Amino acid sequence: MSGSEQSGASRSVPTMRDVAAHAGVSAMTVSRVLKDNPRVGESAKQRVLDAVNELGYRRNEVARSLRLGRSSGLVGLVVTNLANPFYARLALGVEEVVQAHGLRLVLGNTSGQVTREDDLVQDLVSRRVNGVIVVPAGPDQRHLGHEAVDGMPVVLASRPPEGIEADAVLVDDFGGARAATEELLKSGHHALGFLGNPFTLFTGAERFRGWWSAMEDAGVQPRDEWVRRGLDDVASAESAARSLLELPDAPTALFCANNRIALGACRAIRGLGTSTAVAGFDDIEAADMLGVRLTVVSYDADEIGRRAARLLLDHLEPRKGTGPPSPPRRTVVPTTLINY
């Protein structure tokens, strides 16, 4: 055996303590950085990341998975509609965090069907994934309860838990819809229509509530004949918008509960040649090229995924002590308005 081979064979695999010593921080700080804990300062975080790269440190994921009681090294993400760009951004946010911890993402689409969601989650349980993030398809979430999923950690995204205890990451649906409606009212639009997704969805209900609240506070009575709900794609939204805009007393502005509904409304407006203003929830790529007066309720969809992944990773770390488990956590991602 050559000298270089002997040197390579005897070289020890770097440990977390080696990384800590190299970076001049504690092992706990290294652990927090690897879990993307926001309490670590940028300077210390960068030193740790540099040390990880320089030493070639990799977690022993096999030993770690055995310690956690699971062995797949996988995290599941179950969403309702992959055709919606929102879920692509959410998935990228989740992957960014879990991949940094040596885990891989498995993605499933329910098409908004609770039975399909149940099947997907049970399949992930059988594959012994380390945990799962779910955008619930409906209000009945008992199939996501602790016993139903064999104790697998579950975090919800976009919609809160109902009937089960689970951490959740939400968007300020009510506040964003209210702010966008107020923007239309301030612009002089008092004939406001509403195009919404199914009212059984938490996001649909909250955004409708925000629209209604802004109207009431402004002394404007919402008109039922200017409301269309239960829309789930661009085509149905375009048809609904056209039916409103062809009325003899058509609304001068429309609030749309998500980006696909807003796109359908914009198509109807351009097709009819009206000057109707639109406020939509969710970002729209190339919104400035649509040729419609548009206000968008914007938020960081990637951040929803990142926060959900961090909550899930907290559940994957071994618990210290024998005290009672911490109560479910809920975090809300804020929104902003963008005018085009």
- Say if 337 falls within a structural domain: no
- Minimal CA–CA distance to 118: which of 148, 161, 147? 148
User: Does 164 share its domain with 308?
Assistant: yes
Looking at residue 210, its pLDDT comes to 97
Does residue 154 form part of some domain? yes
Residue 294 and residue 180 in one domain: yes
Same domain (yes/no): 85, 115: yes
Tokens found for residue 98: 């879990």
Domain assignment present for residue 228? The answer is yes
pLDDT of residue 322: 58
> Are residues 266 and 276 located together in one domain of the fold?
yes
- pTM, two decimals, is 0.74
Would you say residue 224 lies in a domain?
A: yes
The number of domains in the chain is 3
Q: How far apart are CA 52 and CA 54, in angstroms?
A: 6
Predicted pLDDT at 323 = 60
Ordered per-residue pLDDT tens for the chain, 340 residues? 444 444 333 346 787 788 889 999 987 788 778 767 777 888 988 998 898 888 888 654 444 544 454 457 899 999 998 888 889 999 999 999 999 998 999 999 999 899 999 999 998 988 889 999 999 998 889 999 988 998 999 999 999 999 899 999 999 999 999 999 999 999 999 999 999 988 888 999 999 999 999 999 999 999 999 999 999 899 999 999 999 999 999 999 999 999 999 999 999 999 999 999 999 999 888 888 888 889 999 999 999 999 999 999 999 886 555 566 678 999 999 999 999 8
Per the domain annotation, does 4 fall within a domain? no
Could you tell me if 77 and 138 lie in one domain? yes
- Which domain range does residue 34 map to? 11-58
Same domain, 128 and 277: no
CATH of the domain at 98: 3.40.50.2300
Residue 260 forms part of a structural domain: yes
Same-domain status, 284 and 320: no
259 and 286: one domain? yes
**Residue 212 is assigned to a structural domain of this protein:** yes
